[in-house]
Chains A and B, each alone.
Chain A
Amino acid sequence: MPLSAEPSWMSCEVSTGTTIMAVEFEGGVVIGSDSRVSAGQSVVNRVMNKLSRLHDNVYCALSGSAADAQAVADIVDYQLDLHSIDMGGLPLVKAAANMVKDISYKYKEEMVAHLIVAGWDKSKGGQVYGTLGGMLIRQPFAVGGSGSTYIYGYVDSAYKKNMTKDDCHTFVSNAVSLAMNRDGSSGGVIYMVTITEKGTEEKVILGNELPQFFDD
Chain B
Amino acid sequence: MCSIGIGYDLSASTFSPDGRVFQVEYAMKAVENSSTAIGIRCKDGIIFGVEMLVLSKLYEEGSNKRMLNIDRHVGMAVAGLLADVRSLAESAREEVSNFRSNYGHDIPLKHLLDRVAMYVHAYMFGCSFMLGSYDEDDGAQLYMVDPSGVSYGYWGCAIGKAKQAAKTEIEKLQMKDMACRELVREVAKIIYIVHDEVKDKAFELELSWVGEVTNGRHEFVPRDIKEEAEKYAKESLE
User: By the criterion CB–CB under 8 Å, are A122 and B137 in contact?
Assistant: yes
B95-106 near A? 1/0 per residue, CB < 8 Å: 000000011110
- From B102, B110, B111, B137, A99 is in contact (CB under 8 Å) with B102
Q: Any chain B CB within 8 A of the CB of A95?
A: yes
Q: Any chain B CB within 8 A of the CB of A128?
A: no
- Given A86-B111, A87-B108, A87-B111, A98 and B137 contact (CB-CB distance below 8 Å): no
Q: Which residue of B lies closest to A83 (CB)?
A: B103
User: By the criterion CB–CB under 8 Å, are B105 and A95 in contact?
Assistant: yes
How distant is the Cα of A86 from the Cα of B113 in the complex, in angstroms?
A: 12
Q: Which residue of A lies closest to B137 (CB)?
A: A123
Q: Which residue of B lies closest to A87 (CB)?
A: B111
Chain A, interface SS category: helix
A68-99 near B? 1/0 per residue, CB < 8 Å: 00000000000000010011100010110111
B75-109 near A? 1/0 per residue, CB < 8 Å: 00000000000000000000000000011110010
Q: Any chain B CB within 8 A of the CB of A102?
A: yes
User: By the criterion CB–CB under 8 Å, are A97 and B104 in contact?
Assistant: yes
For chain B, the bracket of interface size reads: under 10
Q: Which of A140-167 contact B (CB under 8 A)?
A: none
User: By the criterion CB–CB under 8 Å, are B111 and A92 in contact?
Assistant: no
For chain A, the bracket of interface size reads: 10 to 19
User: By the criterion CB–CB under 8 Å, are A95 and B111 in contact?
Assistant: no
How distant is the Cα of A98 from the Cα of B98 in the complex, in angstroms?
A: 13
User: By the criterion CB–CB under 8 Å, are A102 and B102 in contact?
Assistant: yes
User: By the criterion CB–CB under 8 Å, are A98 and B111 in contact?
Assistant: no
How distant is the Cα of A5 from the Cα of B108 in the complex, in angstroms?
A: 59
- Given A122-B137, A123-B137, A98 and B108 contact (CB-CB distance below 8 Å): no
- Residues in B whose Cβ lies below 8 Å from that of A97: 104
State the Cβ distance, B124 to closest chain A Cβ, in Å.
Answer: 25
- Residues in B whose Cβ lies below 8 Å from that of A118: none
- Residues in B whose Cβ lies below 8 Å from that of A101: 104
- Residues in A whose Cβ lies below 8 Å from that of B108: 87
- Residues in B whose Cβ lies below 8 Å from that of A102: 102
User: By the criterion CB–CB under 8 Å, are A94 and B137 in contact?
Assistant: no
- Residues in B whose Cβ lies below 8 Å from that of A136: 104
How distant is the Cα of A88 from the Cα of B104 in the complex, in angstroms?
A: 18
User: By the criterion CB–CB under 8 Å, are B103 and A95 in contact?
Assistant: yes
B102-128 near A? 1/0 per residue, CB < 8 Å: 111100101100000000000000000
- Residues in B whose Cβ lies below 8 Å from that of A98: 102-105
How distant is the Cα of A74 from the Cα of B15 in the complex, in angstroms?
A: 45
How distant is the Cα of A216 from the Cα of B200 in the complex, in angstroms?
A: 93
B130-145 near A? 1/0 per residue, CB < 8 Å: 0000000100000000
State the Cβ distance, A87 to closest chain B Cβ, in Å.
Answer: 6
Q: Which residue of A lies closest to B107 (CB)?
A: A87
Q: Which residue of A lies closest to B136 (CB)?
A: A123
How distant is the Cα of A191 from the Cα of B102 in the complex, in angstroms?
A: 30
Q: Which residue of B lies closest to A102 (CB)?
A: B102
How distant is the Cα of A113 from the Cα of B56 in the complex, in angstroms?
A: 64
Most buried by A among B102, B104, B108, B110: B104
User: By the criterion CB–CB under 8 Å, are A92 and B105 in contact?
Assistant: yes
How distant is the Cα of A99 from the Cα of B102 in the complex, in angstroms?
A: 6
What are 9 A-B residue pairs whose CB atoms fall within 8 Å in the complex? A87-B108, A87-B111, A92-B104, A92-B105, A94-B104, A94-B105, A95-B103, A95-B105, A123-B137
Which residues from chain B sit less than 8 Å from chain A, CB to CB?
A: 102-105, 108, 110-111, 137
- Of all A-B residue pairs in the complex, the 5 with the closest CB atoms, nearest first, are A98-B104, A95-B103, A94-B104, A123-B137, A94-B105
Which residues from chain A sit less than 8 Å from chain B, CB to CB?
A: 83, 86-88, 92, 94-95, 97-99, 101-102, 122-123, 136
Given contacts A95-B103, A97-B104, 7 further A-B contacts (CB under 8 A): A83-B103, A87-B111, A94-B104, A98-B102, A98-B104, A99-B103, A101-B104
